[in-house]
Structure 1
Amino acid sequence: MSLRLGFDYCMAHVSESLVKEEFQSVKNNTSKTTIVFYDFQLTKDGQIERLAAITESGEKFSANLKTAPTSDKPPPARKKYSLASYIFTQHPMSPSLAIERFTTWIKDRHRVNAEGDEDVSNVVLAAHYGSCHHHVYLLRLMSNCDITPPPYRICDTLAIFKMLKGLAVEVTLPALVVRYTAWLRHVYHDPDSDVNALRAVMTAAFPDVRRVCLAFSCSYEFFAKATGLDRYESAIAGFRKRGPLQNSCLRRRSLEETREPRIDGIDAGDVSDLEGAMATLDLSPSVMDSFLRICNKTGISLKKAPAGTHPSCNLTNLTNSNEYKVMELITRPASV
């Protein structure tokens, strides 16, 4: 956990002197720093369906995201919570739109809180157990949406509690709420409630929360290299700007195109005597039926040649390109 955040030692070997060095390296003036606590809710297959965030000063962000197995309807209200019930009335948006609004909201909040500063590298994204969970999923979602991650700094509040309060302290979010903010109503695993509780716990446990989060943070670029997410971009290059459901439809469509032969370009007039002409090829009834089914699928209507004209019909009336397509079709009856 600590190695992903830029430390040279694991969590069990982080010494007190190392912690002091980290604090001394941070500037005393943190007025230009904005802390954003965020959390999300995942589906069973690891897709983000709800995203919530709150700044240190109390501004909130919340969004529903469309996922592959869901429709354009809001998710069912599985939990009734006074502070988060309004989220279920929102219409779900695409992941790319949600991330764009999230980054725009962060930029606007930072500009307001930091007296006009537009350098988003002074923004610290904080999440509980974020180094092994939240930051990984958020970076991956940005890459899937073809969005370059802004130069934020990230920190893990769980790692901060372990390094500053000791390894023996229970650091789960419900336990921290009971210890530091017992008056706060908290619904575990609800993103809006979790970010509200995390903000209250951090401000109660650490009076100078900005300096603490800034001291134990790292850049997004370093975190991506430490976790291997910098190579994830090239792996999804062919699936950009498309969601999992659209990619599945495209794969299924391409598979159907390879399985089913096409006779695009053959007009009904060109094949008016095609059935009679094919009779001269002495085809078996099964092959003939297969070819007729193909024609029916593609919407081409064939007229049967009059009786007695079959021997005189041949394929010379067809163009060369159409003749090639016809021969290709009748030689692949098994693909129907």
Structure 2
Amino acid sequence: MKKYRFDEIAFNSTEKKKPTEADKDTYLGLEHLDSGCLTVSRFGSDVAPIGEKLVMKKGDVLFGKRRAYQKKVAIAPFDGIFSAHGMVLRPKCNVIDPDFFPLFISSDYFLDAAIKISVGSLSPTINWRDLKELEFELPDLKEQKCLAGVLNSINRTREAYKKLLFLTDQLVKSQFIEMFGEPGSDVFGWGITTLGNCCILNPRRTEKLGPEQECSFVPMPAVSEKGRIDASCHKPFSAVCKGFTYFAENDVLFAKITPCMENGKGAVAKELKNGIGFGSTEFHVLRPLKNVSNPLWLYVITMFPKFRSDAEKVMTGTGGQRRVPISYLEQYPISCPPIELQEQFATFVSQSDKSKFAVLKSSNLNLWRCL
């Protein structure tokens, strides 16, 4: 396969405009793009977006250059405007087939290379001047055309799997409501308390480890929007015990910073090395209380859309550094059901998770490896 610089493969459209009221219905922000999904299912803003935005045309490939580790790539579904924290890319058709182009941009082959050149610590961003110099191997146009048909078929199958995952999550929430009512309600008469009374928030570490003993290290990208956690990275206790958030097996992680919070990042900590983990300072930690709360019950509460939307209303800070204060979790009204019912619910969630894991294994196909 021949090798090309990225600026030989794609145009980077930098046309911008200041949004008017009429643009609010055709606005796409990074918050509207789903990781690993080329299709757009939500869009628009209640008011005209502030600041200049990129002009996009139907069929353009939209790439989230800010926090690119989230791997947000989508095909523009209509003419409109796109976040200035992204790139609007168009194929150079003498080098890359238009149908193959979005599959290439969304591949791990491209994204992993792009992520490596991100600059900045809090909100790492990819600059075009660096991206355009990267080199990639491409098959010839005829082979690309054939591959596009195969890969698009695989991608459609993967999208169908994702719909199954969504339906499974909805089933879990429906079961929660059937057993306990909506979060914050007291339809069964257990009384209203606060989430802070049902768990320990941001607990202090009591476990003792030697300086060289290993524990799990969990950065923000290691926690998904679907409740999965990758605890396979191990580091010596001495390397992470200061400057990172502590948690332990069965604690619930809740991403407090935008846009991770709005996107639903969170998980129950599982399979931690020596039962202990350290991770991003942008996590709040909820530790279940013995005979009071179950970790899966706590986790599902934090995943309800209303819980997240209410949290968004009280975020503090500006721009990309807005965070949910711990007081929101402390004061959140909740009815605490008997632990026996919570355990029954946890069994149901665990069974659902097994089904989700099977679907994830089937859908977690790196399209580029099909080449």
Aligning the two structures, in what range does the TM-score lie when normalised by the shorter sequence? under 0.3
Name the structure where helix makes up a greater proportion of residues: 1
Higher-RCO chain (CA-CA 8 Å, sequence separation at least 6) = 1
User: TM-score scaled by structure 2?
Assistant: 0.26
Of Structure 1 and Structure 2, the greater strand share is in: 2
Q: In terms of Rg, which structure is larger?
A: 1
TM-score, normalised via structure 1 length: 0.27
